[in-house]
């Protein structure tokens, strides 16, 4: 029998602490969890009433660490089953958040009001160009104005819209 006083157990634990951390990190694949489990291993031996009667303390430490790792992994498996597993792209809603949708809707209404408030020729030129995708030449033919006038109306419309947004 190897009778160790309590400070001897601490020294023995400190001697094997790095190896325990590596072992647990390998088992649970998370350094933070491994650190927690290493600390829990120490607490288990520190509160063990017959810790001084353990013949192979290193094996005992690794047995406790292994059992704690298994308990942790089992609890993670149960939690994943209970919670339907980790969140994946399949579960993520691709719709915008309600606040963002409301904000976008308000901005759209604001833009519609700005466009509605444009002078009639500017509004017509802007909508034909930006909404219908027509060229300045097509717009000039349709409205019976010169391409230079179309350009002027477009410049004025963009300037008025920019001022309203600023």
Residues 58 and 120 in one domain: no
Q: Is 89 a member of any domain?
A: no
End-to-end CA distance of the chain: 84
Give the pLDDT confidence of 91-128 residue by residue, as tens digits.
Answer: 667 788 889 889 989 988 998 999 999 999 999 999 99
CATH of the domain at 124: 1.10.10.10
What b-and-e string marks burial along 2-23, b requiring 16 or more CB atoms within 10 Å of the CB? eebeeeebeebbeebeeebbeb
Residues 117 and 75 in one domain: no
Q: Is 151 a member of any domain?
A: yes
**Backbone phi and psi for residue 84, each to the nearest 5 degrees, phi listed first:** 65, 30
Q: Is 105 a member of any domain?
A: no
Q: Is 159 a member of any domain?
A: yes
Q: What is the DSSP-derived secondary structure letter of residue 166?
A: -
Residue at a domain's end among 28, 63, 82: 82
Residues 129 and 62 in one domain: no
Q: Is 102 a member of any domain?
A: no
Angstrom distances, CA of residue 109 to CA of 24, 46, 123, 154: 58, 68, 16, 21
The residue range of the domain holding 129 is 113-165
CATH of the domain at 50: 1.10.1740
What pLDDT score does 4 carry?
44
Give the pLDDT confidence of 48-58 residue by residue, as tens digits.
Answer: 777 667 788 88
**Mean pLDDT of all residues in the chain?**
86
Residues 76 and 135 in one domain: no
Q: Is 17 a member of any domain?
A: yes
Residues 77 and 122 in one domain: no
Question: Domains in the chain: how many in total?
Answer: 2
Q: How many CA atoms lie within 13 A of 161 on its CB side?
A: 19
Please, are residues 58 and 41 in contact by the beta-carbon 8 Å criterion? no
Token pair for 78: 């149960």
Q: Is 90 a member of any domain?
A: no
DSSP characters over 115-153: HHHS-HHHHHHHIIIIIS---HHHHHHHHTS-HHHHHHH
Q: Is 30 a member of any domain?
A: yes
Give the pLDDT confidence of 25-78 residue by residue, as tens digits.
Answer: 999 999 999 999 999 999 888 877 776 677 888 898 899 999 999 999 999 888
């Amino acid at each position: 029998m190897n009778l160790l006083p309590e400070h001897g157990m601490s020294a023995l634990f400190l001697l094997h602490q790095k190896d325990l951390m590596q072992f647990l990190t390998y088992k649970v694949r998370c350094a933070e969890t491994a650190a927690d489990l290493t600390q829990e291993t120490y607490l288990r031996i520190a509160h063990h009433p017959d810790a001084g009667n353990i013949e192979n303390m290193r094996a005992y430490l690794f047995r406790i660490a292994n059992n704690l790792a298994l308990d942790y992994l089992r609890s993670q498996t149960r939690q994943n089953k209970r919670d339907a597993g980790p969140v994946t792209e399949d579960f993520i809603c691709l719709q915008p958040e309600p606040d963002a949708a409301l904000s976008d809707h308000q901005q759209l209404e604001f833009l519609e009001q700005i466009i509605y408030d444009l002078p009639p020729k500017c509004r017509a030129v802007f909508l034909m160009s930006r909404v219908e995708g027509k060229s300045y030449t097509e717009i000039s033919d349709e409205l019976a104005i010169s391409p230079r006038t179309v350009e002027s109306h477009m410049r004025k419309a963009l300037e008025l819209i920019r001022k309203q947004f600023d």
